[in-house]
Amino acid sequence: MYWRRWNSVNVARLMFFAFVAMSVSSVSYAQDADCEAVAGQRAECAEEAMKAADRVLNDRYQALIDRAGSRYIFQYQSRHEEHKAFLDRLKNSQRTWIKLRDSNCRLEGFENEWDKPSYSADLNRCTAKMSLERALYLDGILPAH
């Protein structure tokens, strides 16, 4: 019985991480392969990659909120104060991280700032890359048991 439970938990974790890897690799592929194929479409392609990465990030952020609710409200007999404190810190952390991401991406794109299509593509590629990294980071907080 213990082995079955352990095995099903590990299988669930494996499936979750496989899903994350597929999400990251599909956005990454769009950035690398398709975006470099036609120079005129790089900005549009980078924008699509950024939008896809933003959806992944939002999904992971919501999943973390759900895990926090499960942990603090259900698992630990209604620890509402801890739940609220965690959500406040998460919101503050996410807002601060978004400012950091945007600032870093403006820095990375500085050399192309006067070439609007290239600058836009640089910003979107950087935003997509950093958003996917943040999504993976959020997945590691309060992991499911």
Transcribe 67-102 into DSSP letters: HHHIIIIIITT--HHHHHHHHHHHHHHHHHHHHHHH
> How remote is the C-alpha of 125 from its chain's centroid?
14
pLDDT at 131: 98
pLDDT at 36: 62
CA distance 66 to 134: 17
Q: Which domains can be identified in the chain, with CATH numbers? A: 2-139 (1.20.1270.180)
pLDDT at 37: 58
What CA dihedral angle connects 49, 55, 57 and 58, to 10 degrees?
Answer: 160
Residue whose tokens read 């895990």: 67
- In tens, the pLDDT along 60-106 reads 999 999 999 888 777 767 788 888 899 999 999 999 999 999 999 99
Q: Per the confidence metrics, is the pTM higher than 0.75? A: no
- In tens, the pLDDT along 114-140 reads 888 889 999 999 999 999 999 999 999
